[in-house]
């Protein structure tokens, strides 16, 4: 599930920085084949956030039950660290999709 998106037409690879920069653009033109495609990140991000949230609950339950003398502050710091890592992984949840326009062009 976690990988950087590829151009849906020519499978050109996009770097982390480029993906991050273009996340909120509606459409992007491929630097390799010149065709435009849509950016889709919402669905992947929602699923990813749900997984991270579930993971955090499990981590905190385990910490509180099995680590003796753990403080709420330590739990909070670990939670913040995990959220920070999750935010860094956001570009890996972005997907590029063929636009309807390009599909129509192919058919015509």
How many other CB atoms are found less than 10 A from the CB of residue 74? 13
> Does 102 contact Zn ion by CB under 5 A?
no
* Sole window of 11-19, 42-50, 53-61, 81-89 interacting with Zn ion (rule: CB under 5 A): 11-19
Q: Which ranges constitute the DSSP H helices of the chain?
A: 16-22, 42-66, 72-88, 100-107
Closest separation in Å from C-beta 90 to Zn ion: 22
- Shortest separation between residue 77's beta carbon and Zn ion, angstroms: 42
If one asks whether residue 12 binds Zn ion (CB under 5 A), the answer comes out as yes
How long is the chain? 108
Report helix, strand or coil for 30.
coil
Q: Edge-to-edge, what's the strand order for the sheet holding 36-40?
A: 27-29, 36-40, 95-98
Of 5-13, 15-23, 41-49, 61-69, the window that binds Zn ion (rule: CB under 5 A) is 5-13
Site for Zn ion in 18-77 (CB under 5 A): 30, 32-33
Residues found near Zn ion in the complex (CB under 5 A): 7, 9-10, 12, 30, 32-33
């Amino acid at each position: 599930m976690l990988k950087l998106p590829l151009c849906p037409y020519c499978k050109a690879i996009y770097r982390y920085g480029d993906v991050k920069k273009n996340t909120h653009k509606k459409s992007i033109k491929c630097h390799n084949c010149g065709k435009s495609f849509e950016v889709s990140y919402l669905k992947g991000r929602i699923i990813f956030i749900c997984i991270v949230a579930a993971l955090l609950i499990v981590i905190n339950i385990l910490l509180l039950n099995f680590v003796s003398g753990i403080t709420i502050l330590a739990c909070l710091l670990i939670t913040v660290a995990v959220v920070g890592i999750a935010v860094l992984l956001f570009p890996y949840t972005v997907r590029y999709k063929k636009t309807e326009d390009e599909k129509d062009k192919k058919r015509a």
